[in-house]
Structure 1
Amino acid sequence: MSSIRRPRRPDVTELDLIGGPEALTVTLHDYDDRWPGMYLAHRKRILDALSEAATGIEHIGSTSVPGLAAKPIIDLVVTVDDVTAEEDYLPALLAAGYRLRVREPGHRLVRTPERDVHVHIYDAAAPAVDEYLLLRDRLRDDPDDRALYERTKRDLLTRRWDDMNAYANAKTDVIRAIKDRARSARGR
């Protein structure tokens, strides 16, 4: 008999963007060989803070793809047993110097005060985690999709963005197509 893990409490039902929308100037930087080291430093910082609470930590986003131009923001995905049990991880992350930015169904985001590191927190079984890794791995392995993604980001820079979410949403169709090709290549 399979057991389904239930959250300790009901999750939030809508987006809570702490601090409200923020104006954004999107700039792409050529790939920086320091990004993996920055990831590793924050991985250690998070592991030190969470000890047993983190079930996984991965480097995601464009800074995790060698050779890909990116916004100079290190993205990490941290998995926990229960994202609704914020007492298991959030106080420790805040004490480690991160600030809560997003609380939405199934997802929390903390970031550095400098806004150069974003830590996405999900349940270990959240489909979003697999989606992040699918895109990252495809961009690492396929030079054509990596070039397409970079061209798309550069084209989007010709527009003004009032919020990071609007910029992210504008990439959705290209990201979906890349992930579809990744699934096809994996035979699923």
Structure 2
Amino acid sequence: MNVVVTEYNNRWKQMFGEESQKMKDIFVDELIDIHHIGSTSVPGLKAKPIIDIMPVVKDIEKIDSFNEQMTGLGYECMGEFGIKGRRYFRKHRDNRTHQVHVFQVDNKEDINRHLAVRDYLRTHSEVAKQYGNVKENLAKQFPKDIEAYMNGKDAFVKELERTALHWYMNN
């Protein structure tokens, strides 16, 4: 997978809206909420142009029954994919455009972690700029190595999550 980090694109919000409507039509009564998360959800933040969507559902086990419908939308169904209690779907494996991270409503740890980072970056533009620069530099350094890119930003992301969660829980 090529690692490309671009300037913020105003169309990302629209892309989230279009795709989240498709999720609403599939998950219907299981869906409690749906959030745009990840770097494309933060205006002004440089990002890999992949829309991260986080549906929050009543019962995570029931989500597996929607795999065929998700496949019909072009998603690859990946199960938990390394995070217990999640259902992960990705669209266009090598030229990924969307990722869906489904969590059950009582999984506060994972839900809060994603919302905290998003909201923290939305309200702390200096940190968002710093994060964007880290990602851009790593993408230039490792344009064909997603693992090295991810490893390179790991320490920054862990500290960002820790700071953002503390901020989120105290606001």
Matches within 5 A, 1:24-173: 24-104=1-81, 105-113=84-92, 115-126=96-107, 127-157=109-139, 158-159=141-142, 162-163=145-146, 167-173=149-155
Identity of counterpart residues, as a percentage?
29
User: What is the identity, as a one-letter code, of the residue corresponding to 1:159?
Assistant: F
Secondary structure of the equivalent of 1:76?
strand
Q: Which has the larger radius of gyration?
A: 1
TM-score normalised by structure 1 residue count: 0.77
CA contact (8 A) 2:46 2:136 kept: no
Contact residue 64 and residue 136 of structure 1 kept, 8 A: yes
Question: Secondary structure at 2:80's aligned position in 1?
Answer: strand
Structure with a larger share of its residues in helix: 2
Structure 1 stretches of 5 or more lacking a match?
A: 1-23
Gaps of 5+ in 2: none
Q: 68-77 vs 171-180, which deviates more? A: 171-180
CA distance in 1 between partners of 2:106 and 2:56 (Å):
8
Aligned counterparts of 1:29 and 1:35: Cα–Cα separation in 2: 12
Structure 2 CA distance, aligned partners of 1:121 and 1:167? 24
Instruction: Give the TM-score normalised by the residue count of structure 2.
Output: 0.83
Q: Distance in 2 between matches of 1:95 and 1:53?
A: 19
**Equivalent residue pairs, number:** 164
Deviations 1:70-100 (A, max 9, x none): 1111110112222233444333322333221
For the 8 Å contact 2:38–2:51, the answer to whether it is kept is yes
